């Protein structure tokens, strides 16, 4: 980080504006902002999320996998996927829960714990917010989609990585 220290007596408003403009131009990297997380790093993070849905997935852990600071990772992750990291994790947990709920004799409490929710109540709330029905209603519905479902904002890792190649 470059720091510029100027005595307050010698700073005119015009000079302050010039320094601010120079700083903004030097720190803004349009190519990096437009491209998001590099494809291999993004694939590594998405794979880690999908393989560890039953464990806590902190943004700090995910950002270390991508070899970025948390704030930088969060911004670029949202640019790459359309969702903040936490929202992406929730969406992936709900997608996995849909697969599990389709299995015969699946117990909602077991599904909730298997996809990383601490209790059935929280799982039911999040599921209802994202799917529009309770897990029980989903289980009973006759028209469950047969494949993993993705919201328009959360794309598959193949699509995510392919978009950046």
Dump pLDDT digits (tens) for 17-37: 566 666 555 554 444 445 799
Position 12 scores a pLDDT of 75
pLDDT in tens, 112-152: 999 999 999 999 999 999 999 999 999 998 444 554 444 44
Q: For the structural domain made of 33-165, what CATH number should be given?
A: 1.10.10.60
pTM for this predicted structure: 0.68
34, 58 contact by CB (below 8 A): no
Report the percent of the chain where pLDDT is more than 90: 62
How is the chain split into domains, by residue range?
33-165
CA angle 24, 25, 26 (to 5 degrees): 90
């Amino acid at each position: 980080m470059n720091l510029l220290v100027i005595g307050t007596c010698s700073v005119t408003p015009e000079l302050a504006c010039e320094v601010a403009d120079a700083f903004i131009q030097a720190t803004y990297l349009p190519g990096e902002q437009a491209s998001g997380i590099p494809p291999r790093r993004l694939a590594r993070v998405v794979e880690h999320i999908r393989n560890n849905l039953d464990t806590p997935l902190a943004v700090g852990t995910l950002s270390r996998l991508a070899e970025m600071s948390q704030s930088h990772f969060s911004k670029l992750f949202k640019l790459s996927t359309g969702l903040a990291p936490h929202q992406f994790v929730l969406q992936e947990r709900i997608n996995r829960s849909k697969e599990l709920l389709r299995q015969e004799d699946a117990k909602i409490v077991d599904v909730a714990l298997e996809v990383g929710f601490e209790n059935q109540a929280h799982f039911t709330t999040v599921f209802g917010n994202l799917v529009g029905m309770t897990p029980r209603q989903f289980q009973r519905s006759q028209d469950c989609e047969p494949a993993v479902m993705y919201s328009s904002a959360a794309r598959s890792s193949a699509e995510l990585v392919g978009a950046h190649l």
